Every structure is written in C-alpha cells, then in structure tokens.
Structure 1
Amino acid sequence: MAYWVSTILTVILIYVAISIALYYLQDYMLFKPEKLPKDFEFFYENQDTEEYYMETRDGATLNGVLFKCKGNARGVVLYLKGNSKSIKGWGKFAVDFTRHNYNVFMVDYRGFGKSTGRRSQKAIKRDLQQVYNKLKELVDEKYIILYGRSLGSGFAAKLASMNNPRMLILDAPYYSLTKVTARYMPFMPLSILLKYPLPTYKWLKYVQCPIHIIHGTHDKLIPYKTGVRLSQVNPKLTKLHTVIGGGHKNLNNFESYHAMLDDILNSKPKSIDLKTTSINVIHSSKKAKTQH
C-alpha cells in the first residue's frame, strides 16, 4: 500500500473516531450540571421561596423554586438558566425581577440540581412546556414573561413560538448552538453530530409577542454580532439592548443592564403616528440650482 494511501486512511479513521467520540461525549462537553442531594434546602437572604416538584410523563422529576415578590405580583417570570451549576446559584438573579413585583420561577433541567431523567433536546423542550402549562393554571398567560439566559435563550424562544406570553427576553442568546460549537470545531460535521442544535433563529420567526435581546459588546463566547443578527429575524417585534463593555457572564454587574431591565419591565409600548414623522421624506441627491 502506497504511503499516501495509508496516510489518508489513517486521517479518515482518526476523523471518524473523533466524530463518534464527539457524538457520545457531547453531553459532558455542553452541560456542566451541579447535583444536589434530595434533602438540600434552598435559602436566599431576603427572598421568600417555595420549592416545587413535578413528575414528567416518562417518569423523570423536575425540581424548581418559586421566588415570591413582597407586594402584589404583576406576573411571573419563567427564568431559563444557562448550562452550568443549578438553581442553587442562579437563584441570586431572581431579585432583579422580584424588586419589580414579579414572581420568578426557576427550574433545573434534567440532570441538574435535584431534577432527574435522561437528557435530550426533545425531552427538555417537553419538560419546559409542561412547566409553562402549570404556570398557566396559576396565572393568566398574558402575565407570563419568558427570560432565557445563554443556553436557556434557545429553549425560551421555542416556548414563546408555541405559546402567547407577555414578552420574551433573551440574555446573551446564540443564533444556534451549532453555530457556537462550529467556532471551536470548524471541520466537524456538527449539523449531523450535534444532539442539541437549538436553532433559536428558526423559532424566533414564529414568536408573536414583544422580543427583547440583551447582549454585551465584549461577549467572547457568543459575540455581540449574534444578538444583532437575531434582532433582524423578527424585526417588527424585536428590540436590541446593548450593554457596552458587557461580557457573557457579567451583565448583572453593569448599571446599564438594570436600567434596560427596568425599562423593559415597566414601560408600556407606545404607538407612533408615522404620518407626523419624516419616514416618507425624500432626500434628493441633486444639488439645488443657484438662482441668478
């Protein structure tokens, strides 16, 4: 066998081996869950919480925590977190909504915290729809806000595309998880191998509620241009909020982020009479003739 043929076969075998390993190990690469014992008690200073369990149709158990605001609730925020840890750590962000008199419900995905069950994109989507349906039993859907953070942004977009929440807020969202991973493995056939493609851009097309995208200009994991690109998918319903200098994990440390959130949660949409604006003004490129 010629040397070059042997080399090509070796490269092919290595490529196939890496592809197989990537397919079976991607759960460990994508998700960084924190397991919690069944007797773990959630506690957050100055936060009133209530823990919930929910059984799924395939026998899994979902664990979630409801953060209650101190006044009369204006609605509920279903907060879908990122791909690491558990709601034990993510719960600290609930205050950003309870301070505006919104209750917040956070749920751990399968394999995170106290939640159990075999994880898959289909299973997680089904789980979250079940959670959403449960919330609709407690509060009118027009008072439900979907908030998706990083990994949760794709699932939030999917939920919004299939339901009618008050609004959808995406924090550091990705165009699709296939696009994110392709930056690090450009030569792999990820469209075939990835079990969690999470095509946020596809689902946003079908969302019919107001969409707010919050993105930092210094996000190195999911570049700011991704937020800009997503804002163009459903432009009539979308508003892009830019956190100057914000990264992927530190938007809550910027005063501008909280100002944006305040504006999103408290401002009422205003209709504009376009007839009174310059929208139809035609600007001529020709220079005006000088009168003599």
Structure 2
Amino acid sequence: MPNWAYIVLLVLAIYILLSLLLYILQDYFLFKPEKLPKEFQFYYENQETEEYNIETRDGAVINGLRFKAQNPKGVVFYLKGNSKSIKGWGKFAVDFTRHGYDVIMVDYRGFGKSTGRRTQKAIKRDMQVVYNKIKEKVPERYIILYGRSLGSGFAAKLASMNNPRMLILDAPYYSLSKVAKKFIPFMPLSLLIKFPMPTYKWLKYVNCPIHIIHGTDDRLIPYKTSVKLSKIKPRQTTLHTVIGGGHKDLNTFESYHKMLGEIITSHPKKVDLKGSSIDVGTSSKQMDVKA
C-alpha cells in the first residue's frame, strides 16, 4: 500500500475517533451541573420560597422552587442556563418578584436535586409537565416564559406548544448546532449532536409576543444571532439591546433592568397607523423645487 494511502487511513481513523469522543462526551462539555444533597435547604435573603418535587413518568424527580410575590400579578417560569443549580440562579428571581410576579425555577435532570437521564426529549417533556402544573393554578394569560441562554431553546419550544402571555429570550442561540459549529466547524454535527435545540424552528410556531434581550459584546452567542431570530416573526418580536453587555453580565446593566421592567409590566397596544408614512414609498429621484 502506498504511503499516501496510509496517511489517508490514519487521518480517517483519527477523524472517526474524534467523532466518537464528541458523541460520547458532549454532555460533559454542554452541561456543568452542580449536585445538591437531598437535605440541602434553600435560603434567599428577603425572598419567600416554597420547594417542590415532581415525579415524571419515567421515574425521574424534577426539583424546583417557587419564589413568592405579594399579591402576584402572574407567574414567570424561568428556564435557566447550562451551569450550576437553582441554588445560585435563584438570586435572579428578585428581578421579577419586585414587580409583583411569582417565579418558578427548576433544575434540569442531573442538576441540583433533580434526577434522571438527561436527553433533549426528556427535558422538553419535563418542562411541559411543570408548565401544566402551573396552568392548573394560573390561567395562561398570566404566565410569562423566560429562557436564559440554554433555557431559551426550551422556553421557545414551550411557547410554540402553549399560549403564554409572552416569551422572553435572554441571550438566545439560533440552534446549539450552530453554536457548536463555531468551535468545531470540521465535525459532522448534524449527525453527532444530541442536543441540536433548533430555537429558530420552534419560534415559527410561537403566537404570543416575543421579546429578545441580548448584549452587543456577547462572545459566546453573538448579538447578530438575536437579530437573525427577531426576523423569524418580526411583527410580534421586539429586540432589546444592552449596549456593552456580555453573555453573563446583563444583570449588571441598568438598561437591562429598565427594559425588563417595561416588558413585564406593560401590555402590548395596537398601533394606529392611519395617517402615518407606512405606505409612503421612497424614491431616489429628487424633485425639482422652484423658488
């Protein structure tokens, strides 16, 4: 066998090995869970919480918290990112309870006190079970879905299958396959990735108002991703820009809190376009004006 053939076979073998490793180990790269013992007690200063557990049909347990507001106007179902547990993410609940909204947060399978084998299908099913539990006590017109980073995909999927008051996406991705391709463009990700999370596909079926919040300096998921997502359902989507915001620090910007407060405390109003310039065409030709 000629030398070039050995080289080709070696490269092919290495490529196949890398593909297998990516398929097997991707869960460890994508998820950074924090495990909590069953006896762990959640505590947040100036926040009233209630812990609960939901058992799924396959025997897994989904652990979550309800952050209580005084005389709640509704509920925010907050779907968190890919790291830690609700032990740390719970500090963000105050951004909603201070506006009079209860907040529901849960840990995905393998995070915190939650158990069960983690797959995209299983997590989507789990989130629908939690949403159904919320619906039993709160009409959907009072439910806000908020998805942060990884959670933005699951929130978009939930919104596409239900009728919440609104969907808020914080630093969302077009799809996780697209994010992964940015770092490993030479791998056949369409065949290997277990969590493709095609947010762009699910947004097509969302009928409620959509609000997208993104920082211009996000180096993990570029701002242009949200610009692209906002064009999927442009008539019902509003893009909110945090100038200078990164991927993990939007809560440190005053502008973020201002826009978030305006989003969740206001109701969409129909704009009267009669008499506006919406139907006025543009022309590159200059009209002659005689003195």
Scaled by the length of structure 1, what TM-score is found?
0.98
More displaced 10-residue stretch of structure 1: 116-125 or 260-269? 260-269
1:59 counterpart residue number = 59
- Kindly tell me: are residues 290 and 36 of structure 1, through their superposed partners in 2, closer, same or farther at Cα, counting changes over 3 Å? closer
Is 1:129 equivalent to 2:128 in the alignment?
A: yes
* 1:33 is aligned to 2:33: yes
Q: Which letter maps to 1:201?
A: Y
Cα deviation code 1:153-176 (max 9, x no counterpart): 000000000000000000000000
Q: Amino acid of the residue matched to residue 58 of structure 2?
A: D
Moved over 3 A (4+): 289-292
Residue 62 of structure 1: CA displacement?
Answer: 0.4
The correspondence of residues 1-292 of structure 1 with structure 2, limited to 5 A, is: 1-69=1-69, 71-289=70-288, 291=290
**Deviation string, structure 1 residues 233-260 (Cα, Å, up to 9, x no partner):** 1111100000000000000000000000
Displacement of 1:287 after TM fit?
2.6
Cα deviation 1:89-113 (Å, max 9, x = unaligned): 0000000000000000000000000
1:270 to partner: Cα distance: 1.7
Describe the superposition over 1:14-51 as per-residue Cα deviations: whole angstroms up to 9, x where unpaired.
00000011001111110000000000000000000000
Gaps of 5+ in 1: none
Query: How far off its partner does 1:12 sit?
Result: 0.2
Secondary structure in 2 matching 1:66: strand
Cα offset, 1:267, TM superposition: 1.7
Tell me by how many angstroms 1:117 deviates: 0.2
Q: Which runs of 5+ in 2 are unaligned?
A: none
3-state secondary structure, aligned to 1:38:
coil
Structure 1 residue 74 displacement after superposition: 0.4
Displacement, 1:290? 5.1
Shift of 1:282: 2.8
Matched residues in 1 for 2:290 and 2:169: separation? 56
**Percent identity of equivalent pairs:** 71
> Secondary structure of the residue that 2:18 maps to in structure 1?
helix
Paired residue total: 291
Deviation at 1:283, TM superposition (A): 3.4
Query: RMSD of the alignment, in Å?
Result: 0.9
